[in-house]
Structure 1
Amino acid sequence: MKPVYHPQNTIEAHLIRGMLAQQGIECVIQGEYLQGGLGELPMAGTLAVLVSENTFDSAREIIASYEQSLLA
């Protein structure tokens, strides 16, 4: 598995996971339960959405569209 996106929070991580799932891309959210340590752990970079190597490029395209929509 390879990190394809580092979301700001678990809500965004699940949003990305849902978008990828709609396109048939399986993913894993790494560090999802570390947010329980807020105040004890630095939160920057603790979350990652991971996909398999063979779906990485497709996942990046979907995420790039999502990122563009945030700028509009």
Structure 2
Amino acid sequence: MHTLYAAANPLEAEILRAYLAEHGIRAQLLGAGLWSGLGELPADNWPRLMLDDDSQLAPARELLRRYEHRRHAGASWVCACGERSPVHFEICWSCGHERPA
């Protein structure tokens, strides 16, 4: 298995695992239980996403690159209903329509 991503915390790791799963990429979350010992244990305790199938490395990295870009962008998008949503929202907070490509 290949370490794909070291998340900031277990919540972010689980969100990303689900995000990848929505796109047909299976990954496991390892080390989430060790995260609580961060700073106390002499080890690298970041929660990690591990790919089940290393042949999916390229598409997984591309999805995570997009996630990082949205995470750090302060931009927003405008839905067809006219409401503005943060760029990291996949659907409109107001009407539930998907963000345009």
Shorter-normalised TM-score: what interval?
0.7 to 0.9
Q: How far did residue 46 of structure 1 move?
A: 2.8
Q: Partner of 2:66 in structure 1?
A: 65
The percentage of counterpart residues that share the same residue type is 33
Question: Which runs of 5 or more structure 2 residues have no equivalent in the other structure?
Answer: 74-101
Q: How far did residue 30 of structure 1 move?
A: 1.1
Q: Does the 8 Å CA contact 1:35/1:43 hold for their aligned counterparts?
A: no
Q: Partner of 1:21 in structure 2?
A: 21
Q: Partner of 1:50 in structure 2?
A: 50
- 2 CA distance for matches of 1:48 and 1:22? 18
Q: Does the 8 Å CA contact 2:38/2:45 hold for their aligned counterparts?
A: no
RMSD over aligned CA atoms reads 1.8
**Number of equivalent positions:** 72
Larger Rg: 2
Structure 1 runs (4+) deviating above 6 angstroms are: none
Paired amino acid for 2:10: T
Greater relative contact order (Cα < 8 A, sep 6+):
1
Question: Which runs of 5 or more structure 1 residues have no equivalent in the other structure?
Answer: none
Q: How far did residue 35 of structure 1 move?
A: 2.4
The TM-score normalised by the length of structure 2 is 0.63
